[in-house]
């Protein structure tokens, strides 16, 4: 029988192991409602399999599996597993329980319709304007995370879900679980419901105080400064912070949400010990500057140490990335304590290479995977990376890999492997400049084909950045994968020159040797219009 998927940690590196082998989750998340109907999904499984991704993130909603209290129907889960398995794909399932995108629309009617048993969050008399709302819109329900009855009901359903997976998914088609989705409170920094106000009068949790003392360096400096008074006192939140402190309010909400989500994760692992995580609507960001503009209490970068202290059962915390400054976000979430996994992102092929090559990531997923155009660039990136899983995971652990994606204002980026410095350059800019010296003016390159078709969010252009990764495979030997980049190698100890460049060709059996590149072709070690790979061997010719 296949072994249960596990997240192995060693020397500050984490790798996911599935069926006894390292596994890079490269794929996408379905639209929120797609997996609720097996018939609807029937049109997509073949397309998803043909796209060469290996992982699909799909939702399971509390309202669908427990439509009336105590009565469960997991047929939609069984269908997902059966169809994904038939397509040769693995699943990460999202538990859409009490909280999804800081509201509670996926909680069952019997929960939402009983506010006396399951009270709502209270945003106060003057709530903030929230994203994705408009004047005159109907209110979206937001249950209070401080409701004990809500936690117990959500936990009961989640545990039945995990128990069902343990009983029926013998082949472990499901390899991980996301608990809830983008939790937090929108419209206010702090919940003012009766249960929340009672919690505000309680002592600051001892586990948070201990974390601040023992791991202060992991806290954002501003957060640590705000929280420092709690280190030497067992007073309440109200005693320490009073009202009107947005940092304290966000921390208070973060502890509550982390305890809630972490409590579900811990309970579910009693039935099936799959890796479990929570995802973040990142914040602050432009236009969403204050907690409440973005979900207050979610696992944002600043709140990571708070979540770590409150929810040890969660294996990692993951950012959803829709912003252009993706490398900055990846750097905030990638650490020895928190391996990088991206559950939602734009179709942007270069970011896949950044995540696995520079930040040690083991998963990257575009949102709306079923919208992908046949033969899209992201699928090519997925196939290229998945084919190198063992090489990438080994190189991540040993620190001999580097990922890159050059932005428009970047001509190059530099990295080092031991005594060798590698300069990675924008090939198109260099090539254009060199031809201009010879009097040849190149026209601007055409826009790449769009990544999606029929997508609700409109046109998604291909990624025209030079991007890829470099793996040191041996002394003076390097594997490069990506597009549009040139490489120069230098050593402070001696003079290096290129000995040979062997093109690699991607086949159904993986990368195979192709042409031996020399002459003009060495100006295109990586092709400018498609993802390619080459093996570079250097020659040490001694000192000048």
Closest to 172 in 3D by CA, of 275, 35, 277: 275
Query: Burial level of 301, CB count in 10 A (0-12/13-18/19+)?
Result: middle
Alpha helices in 87-234 (DSSP H): 109-112, 148-168, 194-200, 206-214, 221-227
Radius of gyration of the chain (CA): 25
**Distance of alpha carbon 305 from alpha carbon 212, whole angstroms:** 9
Check whether 347 has a pLDDT greater than 70.
yes
Helix, coil or strand: residue 345? strand
Q: In whole numbers, what is the pLDDT of the chain averaged over residues? A: 94
Instruction: Kindly give the pairing relationship between strand 316-321 and strand 276-281.
Output: parallel
What mean pLDDT is predicted for residues 207-212? 96
CATH class of 25-345: alpha beta
Residue 440 — pLDDT band, cuts 50, 70, 90? low
Measured CA to CA, the distance from residue 27 to residue 379 in angstroms comes to 8
- Percentage of the chain beyond pLDDT 90 is 86
Sheet containing strand 21-22, edge to edge, reads 6-10, 13-18, 21-22
Shared fold status for 25-345 and 405-540: no
CB 361 within 8 A of CB 367: no
Q: 196 pLDDT exceeds 90?
A: yes
pLDDT per residue over 118-129, tens digit each? Answer: 999 999 988 988
- What is the secondary structure of 97-113 as a DSSP string? EEEETTB-TTS-HHHHT
Average confidence (pLDDT) over 282-287: 94
pLDDT at 104 over 70: yes
3-state secondary structure of 96: strand
**CATH tag, 405-540:** 2.60.220
CB 499 within 8 A of CB 537: yes
Domain boundaries, the chain: 25-345, 405-540
Task: Report the pLDDT value the prediction gives residue 437, as an integer from 0 to 100.
Answer: 67
pLDDT in tens, 111-164: 999 999 999 999 998 898 888 788 888 888 999 999 999 999 999 999 999 999
């Amino acid at each position: 029988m296949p072994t249960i998927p596990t997240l192995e940690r060693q020397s500050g590196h984490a790798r996911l192991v599935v069926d006894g082998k390292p596994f890079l989750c490269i794929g996408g998340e379905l639209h929120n409602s797609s997996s609720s109907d097996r018939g609807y999904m029937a049109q997509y499984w073949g397309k998803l399999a043909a796209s060469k991704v290996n992982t699909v993130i799909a939702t399971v909603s509390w309202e669908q599996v427990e439509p009336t209290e105590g009565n469960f129907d997991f047929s939609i889960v069984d269908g997902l597993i059966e169809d994904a398995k038939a397509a040769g794909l693995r699943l990460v399932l999202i538990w859409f329980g009490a909280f999804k995108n800081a509201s509670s629309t996926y909680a069952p009617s019997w929960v939402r319709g009983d506010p006396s048993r399951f009270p709502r969050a209270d945003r106060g008399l003057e709530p903030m304007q929230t994203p994705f709302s408009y004047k005159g819109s109907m209110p979206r329900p937001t249950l209070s995370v401080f409701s004990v009855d809500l936690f117990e009901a959500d936990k009961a359903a989640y545990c039945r879900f995990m128990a069902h997976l343990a009983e029926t998914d013998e082949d472990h088609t499901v390899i991980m679980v996301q608990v809830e989705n983008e939790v937090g409170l929108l419209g206010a920094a702090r919940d003012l419901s009766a249960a929340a106000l009672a919690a505000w009068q309680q002592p600051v949790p001892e586990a948070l105080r201990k974390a601040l003392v023992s791991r202060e360096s992991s806290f954002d400096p501003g957060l640590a400064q705000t929280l420092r008074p709690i280190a030497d006192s067992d007073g309440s939140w109200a005693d320490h912070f009073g009202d009107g402190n947005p940092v304290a309010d966000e921390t208070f909400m973060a502890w509550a949400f982390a305890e809630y989500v972490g409590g579900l994760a811990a309970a579910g692992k009693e039935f099936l010990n799959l890796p479990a995580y929570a995802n973040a609507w990142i914040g602050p960001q432009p236009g969403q500057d204050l907690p409440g503009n973005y979900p207050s209490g979610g696992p944002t970068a600043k709140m990571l140490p708070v979540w770590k202290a409150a929810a040890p059962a969660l294996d990692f915390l993951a950012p959803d990335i829709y912003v252009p400054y993706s490398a900055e976000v990846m750097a905030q979430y990638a650490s020895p304590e928190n391996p990088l996994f991206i559950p939602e992102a734009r179709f942007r092929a270069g970011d896949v290479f950044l995540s696995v090559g520079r930040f040690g990531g083991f998963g990257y997923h575009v949102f709306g995977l079923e919208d992908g155009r046949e033969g899209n660039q992201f699928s090519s990136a997925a196939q290229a990376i998945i084919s190198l899983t063992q090489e990438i995971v080994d190189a991540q652990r040993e620190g001999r890999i580097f990922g890159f994606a050059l932005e428009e204002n970047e001509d190059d980026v530099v990295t080092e492997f031991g005594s060798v410095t590698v300069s990675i350059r924008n090939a198109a800019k260099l090539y254009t400049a060199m031809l201009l010296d010879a009097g040849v003016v190149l026209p601007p390159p055409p826009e790449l084909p769009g990544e999606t078709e029929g997508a609700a969010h409109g046109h998604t252009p291909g990624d025209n950045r030079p991007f890829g990764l470099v793996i040191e495979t041996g002394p003076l030997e390097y594997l490069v994968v990506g597009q549009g980049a040139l490489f120069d190698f230098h050593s402070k100890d001696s003079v290096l020159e290129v000995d040979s460049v062997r093109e690699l060709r991607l086949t159904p059996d993986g990368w195979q040797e192709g042409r031996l590149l020399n002459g003009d072709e060495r100006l295109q070690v990586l092709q400018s219009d498609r993802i390619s790979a080459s093996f570079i061997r250097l020659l040490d010719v001694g000192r000048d």
